[in-house]
Amino acid sequence: MSDRMVRIVEILIDSFLPLLKAGLAFTVPLTIISFLLGLMVAFIIAIIKVLNIKPFVSIASFYVWIIRGTPLLVQLFIIFYGLPSVGITLNAMTSAIIGFTLSVGAYGSEIVRAAILSVSKGQWEAAHALGLTKKKTLFYVILPQAVKVAVPSLSNSFISLVKDTSLAAAVTVKELFQVAQQITARTYEPLWLYMEAAAIYLIFCTILTFGQSKMEVWFSRHMAQ
C-alpha cells in the first residue's frame, strides 16, 4: 500500500468516531426534536385551515407561503445571524431546531391537509347527520383516516430532514457535516472525508427507512380499512 493510501485509511478510521458521535449527539436529536415539533405545527395549521378558524387562517397561509417560498438556508441565517440585531439571540442548536420545525410544519401541514381532504365527503355528511360538530367529526372520524393516508409522505419528509440537518453546519451546529468540514480543514482530504460523512448519513437513513416500512406495516394492520 502506498503511503498516501495508508494515511487516508488512518484519517478515515480516526475520524469515524468523532463523525458518528456528532451524528448521534446533534444530527439525530436535531432531526427527531424538529420533526416532532414540526408535526405538531403541521397538524395545528392543517386543522386551522380545514375548519376555517377565522382569525388564524390567514396567518397560517402567510406562514406556509413564507416558509415554502424561501430557502431553508436563508431562514436559518435569519434566525441565527439576523435575529440578534433585534435583540433575540439564540444558540446555534435552538436556532436550527426552530428553523427545521418551521420547515417541517409548513410542508407537513400541506401533506396533512391533503390527507384530510382525501377522506370522502360522505364521511363528513354521515357524521353531521349523526349530530357531530365539525370539530368532533375531524377528531373522531376524519383525522384517524387521514393519518393513515399521510404516514408515507410524512415519513419521507422525516428522511429528507435527516439530510437537511446538514444545513445546520452553516449556523455552527456541531453536527456531522460540520465535524467533517473541520477534519477536512485539518487533513486536506475532502473527497474521502465527505464520502465518509455521506456514508454515515446513508447508514442513518437506511436504518430509518427500515423503521419507516415497519411503521407503515403497523399502521395498515392497526388501522384496518
User: Is residue 220 involved in binding other proteins (CB under 8 A)?
Assistant: no
Q: Which is nearer to other proteins, 91 or 120 (CB)?
A: 120
Nearest C-alpha neighbor of 78 from the set 54, 99, 60, 94 = 99
**How many Å apart are CA 200 and CA 223, to the nearest integer?**
34
Q: Which is nearer to other proteins, 21 or 136 (CB)?
A: 136
- Binding track over 80-119 against other proteins, x by CB under 8 A: ----------------------------------------
Stretch that binds other proteins, among 3-11, 26-34, 144-152, 162-170 (CB under 8 A): 144-152
Which residue in the set 136, 156, 206, 207 belongs to the binding site for other proteins (CB under 8 A)? 136
Q: Which is nearer to other proteins, 20 or 147 (CB)?
A: 147
User: Is residue 55 involved in binding other proteins (CB under 8 A)?
Assistant: no
Residue 219: Cβ within 10 Å count: 14
Residue 150 burial (10 A CB sphere; 0-12, 13-18, 19+): buried
Which residue in the set 123, 156, 206, 213 belongs to the binding site for other proteins (CB under 8 A)? 123
Which residue in the set 6, 36, 130, 202 belongs to the binding site for other proteins (CB under 8 A)? 130
In one letter, which amino acid is 123?
Q
Considering only CA atoms, give the Rg of the chain: 21
Q: Which is nearer to other proteins, 14 or 125 (CB)?
A: 125
Q: Which is nearer to other proteins, 63 or 124 (CB)?
A: 124
User: Is residue 149 involved in binding other proteins (CB under 8 A)?
Assistant: no
User: Is residue 145 involved in binding other proteins (CB under 8 A)?
Assistant: yes
Residue 222: Cβ within 10 Å count: 8
Which residue in the set 114, 132, 159, 205 belongs to the binding site for other proteins (CB under 8 A)? 132
Q: What is the DSSP string of 31-86?
A: HHHHHHHHHHHHHHHHHHHHHT-HHHHHHHHHHHHHHHHS-HHHHHHIIIIIGGGG
**How many Å apart are CA 180 and CA 192, to the nearest integer?**
10
Footprint on this chain of other proteins (rule: CB under 8 A): 120, 122-123, 125-133, 136, 140-141, 144-145, 148, 223-225
